[in-house]
Amino acid sequence: MPLWLSRILVVVAMSLGAACALRAQTGNVSASITQVSSASSATPSAAPQLRRDQRQITLAVAARAMVRGETLQAEDITLVDTTIVWRWSSIDPDTTRPSAGWVTRRAIAAGEVLRAPAVMAPPVVTSGAAVTAIWQDGPLRLVLAGVATNTAAVGAPVSVRIDRNRRLDGIAIAPNTVRLR
């Protein structure tokens, strides 16, 4: 077997979670692949051994079916531990946990994972509401009155209409308060 092929086999085997070793035998390089058995090394009371590409995470799951616009209560949320496959080159799994007071943005079935955009934090700025827009640079602080053009939760972007021709962009920071960018 050519050296380049044996190296590819080792890389592939390692990405599949197998323990690999290269050994030289009389000038020929061969790949020795041995699968590690987690069942034989673990005791019955111990937690299962995770592979290199697995992560143990806790997900929030709907305890019952919910309709759009419903506010979550503590009894509507069930936490479930699960194992996921996560590669180092992929994006981090979303582990934001919704809490009581969050709002559903679409119908949710019982047992479905509660994650954005299906649920969102309660809005602190409502579209069409009068808001206070604040811009600050050091000791200089400018406070303007305006009207929000969209609904937003804390940390979400908001556009504020100051008059007929001017619109400013900012971030919702408190009820009916926007920090301008």
Q: Where are the alpha helices (DSSP H) in 42-126?
A: none
Q: CATH code for 130-180?
A: 2.30.30.760
> For residues 161 and 33, what is the distance between their CA atoms, to the nearest angstrom?
65
Domain map (residue ranges) of the chain: 3-36, 54-120, 130-180
CA dihedral for 71, 75, 81, 83, sign (positive or negative): negative
pLDDT at 127 over 80: yes
Residue 36 token pair: 């590690």
In this predicted model, which residue has the larger pLDDT, 158 or 25? 158
Signed CA dihedral, 165, 171, 177, 180: sign only: negative
Q: Which two tokens stand for residue 57?
A: 């995470």
The amino acid at residue 7 is: R
* Span 76-101, pLDDT tens digits: 999 988 888 877 767 776 767 898 99
Structural tokens at position 139: 């000791």
Is the model more confident about 12 or about 86?
86
3 pLDDT band (50/70/90 cuts)? low
Domains 54-120 and 130-180 share a fold: no
pTM: 0.56
Give the other-Cβ count within 10 Å of 75's Cβ.
9
Predicted local confidence at residue 97, as pLDDT: 84
- Can you name the CATH fold of 54-120? Type Iii Antifreeze Protein Isoform Hplc 12 (3.90.1210)
Examine the pLDDT at 151 and tell me if it is beyond 50. yes
